[in-house]
Amino acid sequence: MVFDVVTSAAEYVRKIVEGCSGLKALLTDDETLSMIGLVYSQLEAYNKGVFLIEKLDTPRSEQMKHMKCLVFVRPNSTNLNILQRELASPKFGEYHIFFSNIVRKTLLEELADSDTSEVVNEVQEYFLDFYAVAPQLFHLNVLPCVLSASVENPILERLVDGISSLFLALKMRPFIRYDAHSQLCRFICERLSVRMDQENTLFDFRRRESNPVVLILDRMQDPLTPLITPWTYEAMIHELIGIKNNRVNLRHSPDARKGYQEVVLDPKQDGFYNVNRYKNYGDLGVNIKSLVDRFQEKARYNHSTSTIEDMMKFLEAYPELRSSSSEVNKHVTLMSELSRLVTSRHLMDVAQLEQDIACRNSLTEHQNQLFKMLQNPHIHIEDKFRLSLIYALRYEEVTQNRLGEIKDTLKKLGLSAERLQLFSSILRYGGNASRTSDIFQNKSILGIVRNTVRRGIVGVENVFAQHVPLIVHIIDDIMKGRLRETEFPFMIPPSGKNVPKEIIIFITGGVTYQESRAVALINGDSQTESEPEISAAANFAQSNGFRVILGGSTVHNSKSFLAEVSRVAYPWK
């Protein structure tokens, strides 16, 4: 069975679009439009007869009886009301209605009562209620995502809807484990367990060779990874510019030419991005140059049109040349903007200290370097602030940490009182008293050994890749059967020993592209030689047939993560 969120999502969209012949219109809501757009292009839909794509709530007066209407929406009361109005005065010849998740019986009855013209041809449940970003990554576009475990909270119900939809899309009923120190994680798991019991027939899938497992983890266990500057292509773009539904807004970039002020990063359509999305910053410069050189060779080859034969060859190659030109311009523009930001913000200097604080315990040295960085007028205030938060997380319990002086210095530099409050918020959210994880690899004997080995192996060439996200160690522990049940209990323990070959990790509070990259490397979807811990986990996973999917409430960069942390009033326990 396929263990790939993009393939599963795209298959549902294909069934919707290709399920009937003739001229078609596709009506969606805001969420389902984005879900479709991540896995299926407008051109693909057009080639299958979809000539109109609109929101369900768009006012329509024109009669289009010659077209079949495909409706794909979430099964909620808002969409039901709009559908009822549409069916009361149908504009299309027939309707094929697809809901993105389990539909309540009462909703179906109300919908049937509204179809007085008998134009509804079919109603189906297609379980695409999540955003499939990469084969190993999905999110639910849920903000705020730092939540209280309340039965009345509709956002929590959205998390349960999305995760259960993924189970159904992958045709699995996994064992459920959760972060024992998070009420939120336990609440989600309880609701997932109830959902699967209530819909027992839907979740009655053929048994697999090994039972899959889902682990619901709280972001508070690793508040460090979202704060660390990433140095790989996709993660850098999201951190420094921002990615939303595969789109990057470059309108504020001084080097973005007309036509490239918003670009799309679609690995299916963009070969360079597909190959390089997980590559580090140093390799990207070399690969961009190769891309430009290859394009120049093509352009020179097609330049001569002195004969009819030359003209014919040029016209045959022109679509490919134009596509190559667009790809080259897009990635040169992106790399130019990344380079500008890295240089203007002196991010290499900042990141080197970030990595050292994250991976090594040296209070006096780090204090001296941090105060020197705070006094540097060329470093952006937000980078000084983020660096100080990383320092605070490591040294919060050390008496001589001088956090008061650090905050006073930032205040004098112009940091607002609201931002300064984040020191308290992040320590309440993910400080030592709240988390049980060993993110600095200095609590457990295993962590200390890992950190010592890492420092012994890591060289100058990958000084920006020393920090390893917590999920790498968690995945390694799951694969080797050593993830402690006292820390991560099962909702219903399996009978006998169960080492799952298929692992889903869902992080309430959001994931990062850097964590997604680590999972892709573990799955063997990309290669790394300079990150020994990830390489070791990848070798073990691929030798023993493990696959991992990562999901989260949203995909964070440091800015969005700190915006969520600012909501925190009390630690999760």
Q: Do 266 and 173 reside in the same domain of the chain?
A: no
In a domain, 201, yes or no: yes
Into how many domains does the chain fold? 4
Structural domain includes residue 571: no
The model's pLDDT over 91-121, given as tens digits with 9 standing for 90+, comes to: 999 999 999 999 999 999 999 999 999 999 9
Q: Do residues 150 and 253 both lie within one domain?
A: no
Whether residue 484 sits in one domain with residue 545: yes
Domain-located, residue 258: yes
Q: Is residue 565 part of a domain?
A: no
Q: Which of 442, 462, 482 finishes a domain?
A: 462
**pLDDT, mean of residues 247-267:** 91
Residues 425 and 449 in one domain: yes
332 and 355 in a single domain? The answer is no
Assess if residue 229 is contained within a domain.
no
464-516 confidence digits (pLDDT tens): 889 999 999 999 999 999 999 999 999 998 877 778 999 999 999 999 999 99
What is the pLDDT at residue 442? 62
| Domain range enclosing 267 | 234-344
Domain end marker among 433, 462, 491: 462
The pTM (predicted TM-score) of the whole model is 0.92
CATH number of the domain that 446 lies in? 1.25.40
Query: pLDDT digits over 526-556, tens only?
Result: 776 678 899 999 999 999 999 999 999 999 9
Does the structure show a pLDDT above 80 at 447?
Answer: no
Q: Does residue 227 lie within any of the structural domains?
A: no
**Predicted local distance difference test score (pLDDT) of residue 306:** 57
Are 340 and 360 members of one domain? no
* pLDDT for position 308: 47
- Judgement on whether residues 189 and 89 belong to the same structural domain of the protein: no
Q: DSSP letters of 183-249?
A: HHHHHHHHHHHHHHHHTTTTT-PPPPSS--EEEEEEGGG--SGGGSPP-BHHHHHHHHT--BTTEEE
Q: Tell me: the pLDDT tens digits for 135-165?
A: 999 999 998 887 766 656 788 999 999 999 9
Tell me, yes or no, whether 302 and 275 share the same domain: yes
> Which of 250-259, 373-382, 481-490 is predicted with the least confidence, judged by mean pLDDT?
250-259
In a domain, 311, yes or no: yes
Considering the domain architecture, whether residues 141 and 217 belong to the same structural domain is answered as yes
Task: Give the CATH number for residue 71.
Answer: 3.40.50.2060
Looking at the domain assignment, is residue 566 inside a domain? no
Instruction: Specify the length of the chain in residues.
Output: 573
Note whether 356 and 437 are same-domain residues: yes
3-state helix, strand, coil in the chain (%, to 5): 50, 15, 35
- Kindly tell me if the per-residue pLDDT of 64 is higher than 90: yes
The greatest distance separating any two alpha carbons of the chain, rounded to the nearest whole angstrom, comes to: 81
Residue 338: CATH number of its domain: 3.90.830.10
- Residues 239 and 470: their CA atoms lie apart, in Å, by 19
Mean pLDDT of the residues in the chain: 90
CATH number of the domain residue 163 falls in:
3.40.50.1910
Q: Which stretches of 55-182 are DSSP H helices? A: 77-88, 105-114, 154-169
